[in-house]
Structure 1
Amino acid sequence: MIDLRRIDTEIIKSYNLDTKMKKPNSKRFYHCVKSLCPIIYLVCLIANFSCSNTKSEEYFVRQCDFVSDYQYNDTTKWAITCRVWGLLKYYHPNVTAGKFDWDKVLLESLEAISYVNTPDALNLELNKMLISAGEYSYKEDKEWNDSLKMNVNLSWLNSSFIDDSLKIELKKIASLEVKYPSFYGVDYEHIVLQNEKNYDFEVSSSQKSVNLRLLSFFRYWNVIYYFFPHKYLMDRSWDVILSEYIPKFIESVDPQSYNNTFLKLAATLNDGHAYLITGNESPKDFRDIIEKVDDITIVRGNAGELQKGDIISSIGKQNIKQVRDSLSVFTAASTQGNKDYRINCSIGQMIFGQKNLVKVLRGDKLLEINVVPVDYKKENLQIYRWISDGIGYVDLSQVTNKDINPLFEYLSEADGIIFDLRKAGPYKIELEPFVCHLFEKKEIQLSSMVYPDPMHPGAFLWRKNFQTTIPDSLTCPIYKGKIVVLINESTQSGLETIALEIRNNCNSTLVGRSTSGALGRVTLVPLLGRKTSFSNFALFSADGTELQRKGITPDILVLPTIDAIRNGRDEILNAGIDFIKKQQM
């Protein structure tokens, strides 16, 4: 799992700079699901499930907001170049076979296109790009159908200034079946993009630097266009964002503005997995020290000169609302709750990771405090323990595989066990040996999912309500008491999956607040000098509702209060304890 704190430094730097479906072919399913079954539900943990009921499902189709009409200008010439290059990258047989350095082809085209100022001249360069991909044999793909156009639309070919002969050829190429594995496609065994090159370059105003920045942006835009299953859930059209961000990348002539532009771009995905990793991330962890209660930003724990319960009024020369608004545009999140949580983390980094003048309301006094960098250390409590009469507690953020059997043995007589999934970070347990103590059935039902069709980049396939076998489940001692799972807006990715499958497969109660809403496997995108990521698969609830951008809702909702923070009460944990106590009566 990518640690949330790794993006805080870059965010702080940014702030300081003021229809009818068809059944897919079984061979496609074999290529993708054969490797996905053991790993799709682990997300960032490691599982070793074996799949059953592996029959094909239909295409996943959701209507996206596309831009079809491209009138020629200095921005749209780059936008059309991006789209033509991406289509050839993921569909032309010679390019997908790895016969050409497709980055090099783009860079050569960008150099020539920088001098282009008419549609005819641009068409000449785009035809050169097509010719450079070489000849190919055309065989109509019987699986290709109009439903695929819903996720990747080709209407831009009809309504743009591309000449007719090029349109015809590109449409033919887009209808081909891609041979898996594709040279530049996703490796579905390891869920990584293959053969993407990195470049050492100086961010400057030179044309060479501009071309490399456009290469980085075009790579990212096409990866999202062809492999991100949640485009239909975005607040804004990915097509519109293409034209909007081309001038931004051209004008990002220094490293900080380049990072800022990528942070803002990633935030438009509305995806909690849309991280930007530059290698300059802070090693310090300031999560969970700041909380937002309604419109109030409050300190949760004593750190440096600040005290638990201090209400933050301003940081530096900006009031707290201005601070939060400034950070919001750089913060990628699937839900507003998760965005607030991430902004809280960034504010913690701002206050305690560097010198700052902070105004706080303490009681009825407004204080100005010069805060110096501090190391905020959380109290390390026992991984699993008794917290009340007959009630056990397990902090899953610290549990390793070797702890699993001992903890269930230690808490075997508990009336109820509380499993805490609220601490974001890299978890250390395998899913299989953990859930085998909770699930009585050897065959369990997994939630429906959507995964990319490797033979039609841009199309996605359903996998509905399938089962998996948990090895050794019949030999594991099954815990028979009450199961309570604590969740909130920091519960993301693999943690959400654990909560979801516990809810689906055993008698459990979820307590807290809605989760992050970023489930599914994380795919890294290598960029120039940095990396980013996104959610490559989608999970759905039992009724078919997407969980992306919604999260998992608790059975018992617990909202934060200022009184609880000031008095050091963990209201979510207390609600879990109270629930079990009522069952004991």
Structure 2
Amino acid sequence: MKKSALFFLLVLAQITFGQAKITETEKLAATCKVWGFLKYYHPKVANGELNWDQQLFDILPKIDKAQTKAEYSAVIEKWIDELGVVAANKPLADDPKKDYFNKNLDLEWTQKDKLFSKSLSKKLKFITENRFQGANHYVNRNGEKVALQFVNEPVYAEFQWTDKNLRLLALFRFWNYTEYFFPYKYVMDQKWDEALVEILPAIATPASEKEFLLAMREISIKLNDTHAATFNTEMMKYLGGEKYTVFGAKFIDNKAVITSISNDSLGKIDDLKTGDIITKVDGVTVEQKLKEVLKYMQGSNKPVAILNGGFVMFTGNEDTLEIEFIRDNITSKKIVHRYPNEKIKRSPPKASAKKWEILENNIGYIKMNKVPKEEVPEMMEKLKNTQAIIFDIRNRPTNTDFLANEYLNPEPKPILRLLYPDLTYPGRYYFNNEMQECGKINPDYYKGKVVVLVGPGTHSFGEQTAMSLQTAPNATVIGSQTSGADGPNYSFNIIKGFESSFTSAGVFYPNKKETQRIGIVPNIEVKPTIVGAQQGKDEVLDRALLFVKNGK
């Protein structure tokens, strides 16, 4: 009796599976994943033997006709069978000398997707177990200091946004680039599968060009990576606009505060002053305006996304905008101008233009974004008798190859270790055996305090520079959360007109402590204040000087 009941349930389940209706989004999401999986795992595809884009274009009409899960699985199975026989090809044994990283590797969907029949899942599992082991036709690491590059991808020079096939191809490419070759997929806010389902309708059936373009931007922002963003010329019209205000604003205590005027004479025309607090833009509160733009602003963490959003929210295509603002506790409204970028001639900076100097109380101060490599030896010689050296890396430093550390460290010190994609097993990574080092044997190394200034503008190589300076024996980091994206930035073309990028290799401290999204954590946190902005103070530098004075 029990066996009969079990048999009946199995038959019923099979009938239910075969009859279940499926949506276009479900079909396309599953197809995106299968197409990408086969691209990097199937021997006949990964070796470049087939025109894989055309294969997608050919299968889409058949998938469109499938109305049930059983019909969908049958279409995919037939497709896989037509690709050719996958020979038993036991993958090479893992290298015992490699330190593998599996947090991004997840092919369980091939066995659990609700659209897949058991026989389809079995085929996908066989391909996984006998995956391609040679040089992949579509991705490699060839070249000096290349962490990753996508190759042999047609750009489609005649791309039109109205072409559904090419829209889907663009999304499918980017989604699978991320799925298999973005090292920080595991720390994204949203599961990547869910992001695909969420964005697909705006790609498959967009109501307008604007919806499609912004969807392509939004999917890249979901990587939560300051390096990750997609650009398109037409997109910029909708993203923020092509005209700019002469003021720069930062969000301080959730308020938009004018912190800079790029052109003094144009600023006077609109009677703008640093310290003005903007409360509304064209009748919309700045909080609401920021919320609208944040889903299109790249950033590994919220402070960086807000920094980018604080710029874009004031741009536009119109010549003017209305702002509501507070000055001297009085709320007013006014019309201010926007200009094409070429018409905003920047006024000379008011701050000291010196690359480095000795401040009061014998404190060295270095603007790392201004010091060229060849001047480091002379600079460090002049600063060797100071009681402290403040390294300001709140803006991207010049490429000094960590040369300053040869004067700060008594011996070579490890800075970081890199995480690279394992191209023999897409989705898996491994730690490079050799760690990046800085410094040299130097008994006469600098004995004073080393202070490192950081903030949201400390990004990528700037964060690696901060990590190198942290190795100094008497180092203290002061400021606020940094960009949280310090691996190599890889720029690539998705399809004609769509340039994108993301961090292509992971960067960790020598003990494998993460930096992605977290950034360089300050020993002393300093957040800007509205009063400080209004008074033109550099609160981070002021706090550093206080620390040098009293040691806390």
Q: TM-score, normalised by structure 2?
A: 0.82
Q: 2:541: which partner in 1? A: 573
Q: Does 1:417 align with 2:389?
A: yes
Q: TM-score, normalised by structure 1?
A: 0.78
Choose from 306, 311, 315 the match for 1:345.
311
Q: 1:63: which partner in 2? A: none
Superposed CA deviations along residues 120-162 of structure 1, whole A, max 9, x for unmatched, are: 4433442354245433432222648999597223234344333
Paired residue type of 2:180: Y
Instruction: Please list every run of 5 or more consecutive structure 1 residues that lacks an aligned counterpart in the other structure.
Output: 1-69
Choose from 314, 320, 334 the match for 1:355.
320
Contact 1:203 1:253 in 2 (8 A): no
Give matches, 1:81-480, under 5 Å. 81-141=31-91, 143=93, 151-176=105-130, 178-179=132-133, 181-187=135-141, 189-190=145-146, 191-201=148-158, 203-205=160-162, 209-252=163-206, 254-279=208-233, 289-302=248-261, 304=267, 305=270, 306-347=272-313, 349=315, 354-373=319-338, 375=344, 376-377=346-347, 379=349, 381-424=353-396, 427-442=397-412, 444-463=413-432, 467-468=435-436, 473-474=440-441, 478-480=445-447
Specify the SS of the correspondent of 1:385: strand
Paired residue type of 2:166: L
Q: Aligned partners of 1:567 and 1:289: how far apart in 2?
A: 16
Specify the SS of the correspondent of 1:447: strand
Q: CA deviation at 1:245?
A: 1.5
Q: Aligned partners of 1:287 and 1:387: how far apart in 2?
A: 32
Superposed CA deviations along residues 507-532 of structure 1, whole A, max 9, x for unmatched, are: 21111112122232223342122122
Paired residue type of 2:292: S
Specify the SS of the correspondent of 2:60: helix
Q: CA deviation at 1:76?
A: 1.2
Q: Aligned partners of 2:421 and 2:244: how far apart in 1?
A: 35
Q: Tell me: CA distance 1:519–1:468, structure 2 relative to 1, closer, same or farther (3 Å).
A: closer
Q: Aligned partners of 1:126 and 1:540: how far apart in 2?
A: 40
Q: 1:24: which partner in 2? A: none
Specify the SS of the correspondent of 2:471: helix
Which of 558-567 and 251-260 deviates more?
251-260
Instruction: Please list every run of 5 or more consecutive structure 2 residues that lacks an aligned counterpart in the other structure.
Output: 1-19
Contact 1:111 1:211 in 2 (8 A): no
Q: Tell me: CA distance 1:150–1:445, structure 2 relative to 1, closer, same or farther (3 Å).
A: closer
Paired residue type of 2:50: F
Q: CA deviation at 1:482?
A: 2.1
Q: 1:549: which partner in 2? A: 517
Contact 2:246 2:261 in 1 (8 A): no
Which of 478-487 and 494-503 deviates more?
478-487
Which of 85-94 and 252-261 deviates more?
252-261
Q: Aligned partners of 1:137 and 1:182: how far apart in 2?
A: 17
Which of 337-346 and 155-164 deviates more?
155-164
Aligned-residue CA RMSD in angstroms?
A: 3.2
Specify the SS of the correspondent of 2:251: strand
Which of 297-306 and 402-411 deviates more?
402-411
Q: Aligned partners of 1:124 and 1:177: how far apart in 2?
A: 22
Q: Tell me: CA distance 1:253–1:417, structure 2 relative to 1, closer, same or farther (3 Å).
A: same
Q: Aligned partners of 1:319 and 1:250: how far apart in 2?
A: 33
Choose from 509, 521, 536 the match for 2:488.
521
> Percent of aligned positions with the same letter in both sequences?
26
Specify the SS of the correspondent of 1:183: coil
Q: Tell me: CA distance 1:354–1:418, structure 2 relative to 1, closer, same or farther (3 Å).
A: farther
Contact 1:225 1:238 in 2 (8 A): yes
Paired residue type of 2:278: I
Superposed CA deviations along residues 308-349 of structure 1, whole A, max 9, x for unmatched, are: 110001111311111111111212222122222121222354
Contact 2:422 2:430 in 1 (8 A): yes
Q: Does 1:75 align with 2:25?
A: yes
Q: Aligned partners of 1:501 and 1:219: how far apart in 2?
A: 36
Superposed CA deviations along residues 164-201 of structure 1, whole A, max 9, x for unmatched, are: 44322221212235435322124264232222221234
Contact 2:367 2:393 in 1 (8 A): yes
Specify the SS of the correspondent of 1:456: coil
Q: Tell me: CA distance 1:477–1:346, structure 2 relative to 1, closer, same or farther (3 Å).
A: farther
Q: Aligned partners of 2:386 and 2:243: how far apart in 1?
A: 36
Q: 2:12: which partner in 1? A: none
Q: CA deviation at 1:371?
A: 1.4
Q: Tell me: CA distance 1:484–1:518, structure 2 relative to 1, closer, same or farther (3 Å).
A: same
Specify the SS of the correspondent of 1:527: strand
Number of equivalences: 506
Superposed CA deviations along residues 209-255 of structure 1, whole A, max 9, x for unmatched, are: 11111111111111111122323322221111222221111133544
Specify the SS of the correspondent of 2:322: strand
Q: Tell me: CA distance 1:326–1:398, structure 2 relative to 1, closer, same or farther (3 Å).
A: same
Q: CA deviation at 1:88?
A: 0.7
Q: CA deviation at 1:418?
A: 1.3
Q: 1:30: which partner in 2? A: none
Contact 2:159 2:166 in 1 (8 A): no
Q: Aligned partners of 2:205 and 2:58: how far apart in 1?
A: 20
Q: Tell me: CA distance 1:266–1:120, structure 2 relative to 1, closer, same or farther (3 Å).
A: same
Contact 1:522 1:536 in 2 (8 A): yes
Q: Tell me: CA distance 1:159–1:259, structure 2 relative to 1, closer, same or farther (3 Å).
A: closer
Specify the SS of the correspondent of 1:510: strand
Q: Tell me: CA distance 1:398–1:479, structure 2 relative to 1, closer, same or farther (3 Å).
A: same
Specify the SS of the correspondent of 2:297: coil
- Higher relative contact order, chain-length normalized (CA < 8 Å, sep 6+): 1
Q: 2:456: which partner in 1? A: 489
Compare CA radii of gyration and give the structure with the larger one. 2
Q: Aligned partners of 2:168 and 2:306: how far apart in 1?
A: 31
